[in-house]
C-alpha cells in the first residue's frame, strides 16, 4: 500500500514537471511565432472563433486538457459515457447504414428510385414526403396544385404506400420515414401495409421522424403545440407496446441547423426537445428504461469538420449523463445517443454545383468520424433540384469510397485523444449544459418553445451568417471567393403529369373504397382524438379502410385547431 | 407606391405549404434593417391569404420566395389573381428558380424581378427600394 502511494506520488511529480516543461516549450514557440511574424510579415489570419462562436487558439496541447480523466471523459465504445461510440465494435462490426433520402413524383417513381439505390449498394430505405403530405393535404386538394410530389413522395392513402413499397422486402429492410411533422397518418398506413402482407408488427424495423417540435423552432406547424406533442407520443407509446424494433420518435436537429442554427444551438435544442417527449411518455406511466432505448436522433453534418465531430461526441456524452443522472436510467441501452446524419443541404451552392461533391465528402467524413449510425449524403445538385440517378449514385459512392478505401472506419473514434477535438468536445458539452440551465430556469423546453426563444435565436444566427457571407468573413468558394455564375446542369424536375397521376389515384380511391367503412373508421378516429386517447389503433383501422391523410388531418384541425403562424 | 421619405411597406410570403423560409426571413431582416416595414406572412400560406393581405395592408412591394419548384404553377396563379384584383404592387421573386423559368415568370406573368441563389442582400434591398418609390 505504502509503496503504491509513493509510486503515485512520483508519477504525479513527473506529470507536473512535464506540464512545466511543456509550458516552457510553449512559451518558446510563442516567441518563435512573434519572430516569424516580424521577419516574414505573415500574419495570423485565421478566424478567432469556431462557427458556433467558441473562441479558438491556434494550437492545442496537453496544457489545454489538464486534469483530463480518460475514463471519466471517454472510456471505451459501448461503455459509459459512450463518447467514443455507442456500440462496442462500431464500424468494425457493422458499418453505418447507407440510407439515401429519396422520394419524388409518383409512387412508382419513388419505388423505382428505391430499387435503383438498392441495386447500387444502399442498405436502408429513407423515404421523403412532399409538403402537402407533411401538412396534411391530399394530392387532389386544389390548393396543392404544383406542390404534389415535388420535395418527396405524395402519400394520400394506403394505396400510395402500396405503390411506393411494391416488391420491396419491408419485413427485412429497415425503413426510415421522414415525416417532418407528425408521423401519424403515414405510419398508420405503413403498419396497415405490413398487416396486409402478414408481416408481424414486432418484426418491422425502422424509424418515423415524428418530431413536431422543430417546426415550432423554425418553419410553421400545422397544429398547436400541445396536441402535436400528444400525437407524437401516441405513436411512440404504440411502438413501445407493439413494435420494439421501431424508433417511434426521431428527434430532429437537422432542420434546425438547415434553418440557420449553429452547431451548439442544433445540439442543445435537439437534446432539449428529446426531453419533452421523454417527459410526456413518463407522465403516461412508462419506465425510463423502456422509453429511452426507443428514442433516436437526426443530425446535420456541416462545414467545420472538427466542430461537427466534437458536436457528435459531446452529444453522446451529454445524453448518457442526463439519462443516468436526471432520469435515473439503469440499462446501458437507455443511455446511448443513436443518430442518423444527413449532410448539410444549406451548405451546398447553386454556383459550380460540382464543388458540392467535395463539400458533401467532408460533411460525410465528419459524420463517420463522429460515429453516426446511419447516413445520407446530399447530391451535388441539391441546391438546384431533386437528385438525378447520376447524382444520387455519386452520393452513394462517396460513402462507399470513404467506407472501403479511406480506412476511416478501421479504428474506432480515430480523433479521440486529439488535444483540439477533446478540448472542443468539452467546450460544446459545457455550452449544452449552459443551455439546459437556461431552459430549466425558464420552466422546461415546452415553456422555452412557447416563449419562442429558440426561434428568435436561430433567426438571429441565420441572419448573422448571411451577413458574414455577404461581407466575405465567412468564405464560400464560388460565392464570395472565386465567384462564378450558375451553370446549367441536368436537373430532375417533377412534371404536372406526375402530379396528375397522384391526383387521379386518390380520386379513384375515394370512388372505389367502401365508403361506409371509411366513414365509420374516421368517426372512430375522431372520437379517439376528442377524448385525447391514444389515436394510433384507430388511425391504423382508418388507414386500412383507405381513409386519406387529408381526411385524418382535417379531423386533427377540427379537434385541435390550426397551428400558430410564427415568424 | 410610397412617397419619397415615407416608409416602404413590403409583404413577404411563400405560396403553398413549402416550409423552406430561411432565405425569406433573411430578406425580411435585411429590409427592416434598411428601414422598410415588413409584413411577414412566411411559410405555409395559400394564395387567397396573400391576396387578402396585399389588399388590406396596401403594400408597396410583394416578395415571394420559392424553393420546392412550385413556382411554375403557384406564382403564375397568384399573379393572375393580383392582376384581377388590380393590385399594382410589383412582385419580386427569389429562391431556387431555374433561369429559364425565371425568364418566363418575368416575360409572361409580369413578375418584376427574380433573384437567383447567390444574389447579394445589398442588390435585393436596393431593388425593393427602387420598386417601393417608383
| Strands of the A339-343 sheet, one edge to the other | A97-98, A374-376, A339-343, A295-301, A249-252
- Write the DSSP assignment of A308-328 as a string of letters: HHHHHHHHHHHHHHHHHHTS-
Question: Is B5 an 8 Å CB contact of chain A?
Answer: no
Residue A187, C-alpha cell as written in the block: 405510419
Q: How do residues B60-79 score in pLDDT, each as one tens digit?
A: 999 999 988 778 899 999 99
Per CB-CB distance under 8 Å, the chain B contacts of A151 are 18, 68-69
Q: Say yes or no to pLDDT of A253 above 50.
A: yes
Helix (H) or strand (E) holding B10: strand B9-14
Kindly determine whether residue B16 and residue A146, on different chains, have CB atoms separated by under 8 Å.
Answer: yes
Domains and CATH numbers, chain A: 96-228+241-247+482-567 (3.20.20.240), 265-452 (3.20.20.240)
Q: What is the mean pLDDT of residues A319-336?
A: 98
- Write the DSSP assignment of A144-185 as a string of letters: GTTTTTSSSB--SSHHHHHHHTTT--TTTSEEEEE-SS--HH
Cα(A397)–Cα(A379) distance, integer angstroms: 11
**Alpha helix (H) ranges present in A41-157?**
70-73, 90-93, 107-119, 131-134
Cα A29 off chain centre by: 42
Q: Say yes or no to pLDDT of A270 above 60.
A: yes
Instruction: Determine the pLDDT at residue A2.
Output: 47
Domains and CATH numbers, chain B: 9-133 (3.40.50.280)
Of A131, A349, A350, the CB nearest to B17: A131
Q: How far apart are the CA of A223 and the nearest CA of chain B, in angstroms?
A: 12
Cα(A122)–Cα(B1) distance, integer angstroms: 55
Q: Say yes or no to pLDDT of A3 above 60.
A: no
Of B22, B120, B121, the CB nearest to A260: B22
- Encode burial over A91-121: b for 16+ CB neighbours within 10 A, e otherwise: beeebbbbbbbbbbbbbebbbebbeebeebe
By mean pLDDT, which of A42-51, A133-142, A148-157, A463-472 is the weakest?
A42-51
Q: Give the ipTM.
A: 0.94
Per CB-CB distance under 8 Å, the chain B contacts of A134 are 17, 19
Instruction: Determine the pLDDT at residue A16.
Output: 66
Neighbours of A339 (CB within 10 A): 26
Per CB-CB distance under 8 Å, the chain B contacts of A486 are 99, 116-118
Q: Say yes or no to pLDDT of B3 above 90.
A: no
Instruction: Determine the pLDDT at residue A7.
Output: 53
The number of residues making up chain B comes to: 134
**Residues B39, B75, A485, CA angle at the centre, nearest 5°?**
95
Q: Say yes or no to pLDDT of B50 above 50.
A: yes
Q: What is the mean pLDDT of residues A262-291?
A: 98
Q: How far apart are the CA of B78 and the nearest CA of chain A, in angstroms?
A: 12
Contact residues for A463 (Cβ-Cβ < 8 A; gap 6+): A260, B25, B26, B29, B30
Q: Say yes or no to pLDDT of A1 above 50.
A: no
**Residues B67, A129, B73, CA angle at the centre, nearest 5°?**
40
Residue B6, C-alpha cell as written in the block: 415615407
Q: How confident is the model at residue A45 (pLDDT cuts 50, 70, 90)?
A: confident
Locate the chain A residue with the closest alpha carbon to B120.
A470
Which residues on chain A place their C-beta less than 8 Å from a C-beta of chain B?
131-132, 134-135, 137, 143-147, 150-151, 180, 215, 218-220, 222, 258-260, 346, 349-351, 383-385, 459, 462-463, 466-467, 470, 479, 486, 488, 491, 493-494, 496, 565-567
The whole model's pTM is what? 0.95
Instruction: Confirm if A192 and A535 have CB atoms less than 8 A apart.
Output: no
Q: Say yes or no to pLDDT of A497 above 70.
A: yes
Per CB-CB distance under 8 Å, the chain B contacts of A222 are 44
By mean pLDDT, which of A310-314, A514-518, B44-48 is the weakest?
B44-48
Bridge partner residues of A129 (DSSP):
A153
Instruction: Confirm if A370 and A308 have CB atoms less than 8 A apart.
Output: yes
Residue A492, C-alpha cell as written in the block: 430532375
Question: Is B77 an 8 Å CB contact of chain A?
Answer: yes
Kindly determine whether residue B121 and residue A566, on different chains, have CB atoms separated by under 8 Å.
Answer: no
Instruction: Confirm if B68 and B98 have CB atoms less than 8 A apart.
Output: no
Instruction: Confirm if A151 and A127 have CB atoms less than 8 A apart.
Output: no
Q: How do residues A171-229 score in pLDDT, each as one tens digit?
A: 999 999 998 999 999 999 999 999 999 999 999 999 999 999 999 999 899 999 999 99
Q: Say yes or no to pLDDT of A43 above 50.
A: yes
Q: What is the mean pLDDT of residues A538-555?
A: 98
Neighbours of A28 (CB within 10 A): 10
Helix (H) or strand (E) holding A272: helix A263-283
Rg, chain B, Cα only:
13
Cα(A184)–Cα(A525) distance, integer angstroms: 12
Antiparallel, parallel or unpaired: β A339-343 and B61-66: unpaired
Kindly determine whether residue B69 and residue A566, on different chains, have CB atoms separated by under 8 Å.
Answer: no
**Residues B14, B18, B19, CA angle at the centre, nearest 5°?**
90
Question: Is B130 an 8 Å CB contact of chain A?
Answer: no
Among residues A535, A537, A551, A542, which one has the least CA distance to residue A232?
A535
**Three-state DSSP state, A61:** coil
Kindly determine whether residue A132 and residue B69, on different chains, have CB atoms separated by under 8 Å.
Answer: no
Of A215, A218, A463, the CB nearest to B26: A463
Q: How far apart are the CA of B11 and the nearest CA of chain A, in angstroms?
A: 13
By mean pLDDT, which of A3-12, A408-417, B63-72 is the weakest?
A3-12
Among residues A24, A22, A3, A4, which one has the least CA distance to residue A14?
A22
Instruction: Determine the pLDDT at residue A495.
Output: 87
**Three-state DSSP state, B50:** helix
Question: Is B133 an 8 Å CB contact of chain A?
Answer: no
Q: How far apart are the CA of A132 and the nearest CA of chain B, in angstroms?
A: 6
Among residues A342, A408, A409, which one has the least CA distance to residue A375?
A342
Question: Is B29 an 8 Å CB contact of chain A?
Answer: yes
Q: Is A368 buried (19+), middle (13-18) or exposed (0-12) by CB count in 10 A?
A: buried
Instruction: List the end-to-end C-alpha distance of chain B, in Å, as a whole number.
Output: 6
**Residues A149, A150, A151, CA angle at the centre, nearest 5°?**
105
Cα(A290)–Cα(A244) distance, integer angstroms: 10
Q: What is the mean pLDDT of residues B21-42?
A: 96
Per CB-CB distance under 8 Å, the chain A contacts of B44 are 135, 219-220, 222
Between chain A and chain B, the number of residue pairs with CB atoms below 8 A apart is 107
The number of residues making up chain A comes to: 567
Q: How do residues A154-177 score in pLDDT, each as one tens digit?
A: 999 999 999 999 999 999 999 999
Q: What percent helix, strand, coil does chain B show, rounded to 5?
A: 45, 20, 35
Cis previous bond, A81, omega within 30: yes
Q: How confident is the model at residue A5 (pLDDT cuts 50, 70, 90)?
A: low
Amino acid at each position: 500500500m505504502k509503496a503504491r502511494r509513493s509510486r503515485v506520488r512520483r508519477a504525479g511529480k513527473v506529470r507536473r514537471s512535464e506540464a512545466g516543461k511543456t509550458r516552457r516549450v510553449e512559451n518558446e514557440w510563442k516567441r518563435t511565432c512573434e519572430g516569424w511574424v516580424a521577419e516574414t510579415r505573415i500574419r495570423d489570419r485565421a478566424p478567432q472563433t469556431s462557427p458556433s462562436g467558441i473562441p479558438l487558439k491556434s494550437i492545442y496541447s496537453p496544457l489545454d486538457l489538464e486534469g483530463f480523466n480518460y475514463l471519466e471523459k471517454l472510456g471505451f465504445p459501448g461503455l459509459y459515457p459512450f463518447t467514443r461510440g455507442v456500440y462496442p465494435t462500431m464500424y468494425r462490426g457493422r458499418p453505418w447504414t447507407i440510407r439515401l433520402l429519396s422520394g419524388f413524383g409518383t409512387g412508382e417513381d419513388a419505388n423505382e428510385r428505391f430499387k435503383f439505390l438498392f441495386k447500387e449498394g444502399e442498405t436502408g430505405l429513407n423515404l421523403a414526403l412532399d409538403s402537402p403530405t407533411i401538412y396534411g393535404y391530399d394530392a387532389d386538394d386544389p390548393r396543392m396544385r404544383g406542390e404534389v410530389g415535388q420535395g418527396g413522395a405524395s402519400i394520400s392513402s394506403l394505396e400510395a404506400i402500396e405503390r411506393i413499397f411494391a416488391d420491396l422486402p419491408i419485413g427485412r429492410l429497415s425503413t426510415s420515414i421522414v415525416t417532418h411533422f407528425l408521423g401519424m397518418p403515414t405510419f398508420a398506413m405503413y403498419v396497415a401495409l405490413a398487416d396486409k402482407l402478414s408481416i408481424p408488427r414486432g418484426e418491422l424495423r425502422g424509424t418515423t421522424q415524428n418530431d413536431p417540435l422543430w417546426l415550432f423552432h423554425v418553419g410553421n406547424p400545422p397544429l398547436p403545440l400541445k396536441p402535436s406533442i400528444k400525437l407524437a407520443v401516441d405513436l411512440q407509446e404504440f411502438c413501445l407496446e407493439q413494435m420494439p424494433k421501431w424508433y417511434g420518435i426521431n428527434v430532429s436537429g437537422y432542420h434546425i441547423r438547415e434553418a440557420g442554427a449553429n452547431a451548439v444551438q442544433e445540439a442543445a435544442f435537439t437534446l432539449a426537445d428529446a426531453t419533452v417527449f421523454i417527459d410526456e411518455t413518463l407522465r403516461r406511466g412508462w419506465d425510463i428504461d423502456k422509453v429511452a432505448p426507443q428514442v433516436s436522433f437526426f443530425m446535420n453534418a456541416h462545414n467545420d469538420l472538427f466542430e461537427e465531430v466534437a458536436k457528435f461526441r459531446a452529444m453522446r456524452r451529454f445524453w448518457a449523463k442526463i439519462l443516468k443522472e436526471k432520469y435515473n436510467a439503469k440499462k446501458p441501452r437507455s443511455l446511448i445517443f443513436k443518430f442518423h446524419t444527413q449532410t448539410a443541404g444549406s451548405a451546398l451552392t447553386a454556383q459550380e454545383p460540382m464543388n458540392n461533391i467535395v463539400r458533401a465528402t467532408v460533411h460525410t467524413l465528419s459524420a463517420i468520424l463522429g460515429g453516426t449510425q446511419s447516413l445520407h449524403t446530399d447530391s451535388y445538385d441539391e441546391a438546384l433540384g431533386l437528385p438525378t440517378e447520376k447524382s444520387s449514385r455519386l452520393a452513394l459512392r462517396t460513402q462507399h469510397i470513404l467506407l472501403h478505401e479511406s480506412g476511416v472506419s478501421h479504428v474506432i473514434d480515430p480523433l479521440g485523444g486529439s488535444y483540439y477535438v477533446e478540448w472542443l468536445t468539452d467546450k460544446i458539452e459545457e455550452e449544452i449544459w449552459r443551455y439546459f440551465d437556461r431552459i430549466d430556469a425558464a420552466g422546461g423546453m415546452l415553456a422555452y418553445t412557447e416563449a419562442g426563444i429558440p426561434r428568435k435565436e436561430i433567426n438571429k444566427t441565420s441572419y448573422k451568417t448571411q451577413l458574414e457571407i455577404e461581407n466575405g468573413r465567412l468564405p464560400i468558394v464560388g460565392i464570395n471567393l472565386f465567384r462564378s455564375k450558375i451553370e446549367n446542369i441536368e436537373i430532375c424536375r417533377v412534371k404536372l403529369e406526375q402530379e396528375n397521376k397522384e391526383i387521379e389515384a386518390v380520386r379513384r380511391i375515394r370512388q372505389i373504397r367502401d365508403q361506409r367503412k371509411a366513414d365509420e373508421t374516421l368517426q372512430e378516429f375522431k372520437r379517439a382524438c376528442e377524448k385525447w386517447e391514444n389515436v394510433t389503433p384507430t388511425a391504423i383501422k382508418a388507414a386500412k379502410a383507405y381513409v386519406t391523410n387529408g381526411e385524418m388531418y382535417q379531423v386533427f384541425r377540427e379537434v385541435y385547431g390550426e397551428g400558430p403562424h410564427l415568424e | 407606391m410610397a412617397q419619397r421619405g415615407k416608409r416602404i411597406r413590403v409583404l413577404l410570403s411563400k405560396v403553398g405549404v413549402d416550409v423552406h423560409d430561411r432565405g425569406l426571413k433573411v430578406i425580411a431582416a435585411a429590409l427592416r434593417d434598411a428601414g422598410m416595414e415588413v409584413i411577414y406572412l412566411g411559410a405555409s400560406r395559400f394564395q387567397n391569404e396573400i391576396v387578402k393581405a396585399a389588399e388590406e395592408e396596401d403594400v408597396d412591394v410583394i416578395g415571394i420566395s420559392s424553393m420546392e419548384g412550385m413556382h411554375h404553377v403557384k406564382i403564375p396563379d397568384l399573379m393572375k389573381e393580383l392582376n384581377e384584383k388590380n393590385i399594382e404592387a410589383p412582385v419580386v421573386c427569389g429562391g431556387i428558380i431555374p433561369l429559364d423559368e425565371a425568364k418566363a415568370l418575368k416575360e409572361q406573368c409580369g413578375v418584376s424581378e427574380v433573384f437567383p441563389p447567390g444574389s447579394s442582400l445589398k442588390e435585393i434591398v436596393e431593388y425593393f427600394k427602387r420598386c417601393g418609390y417608383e
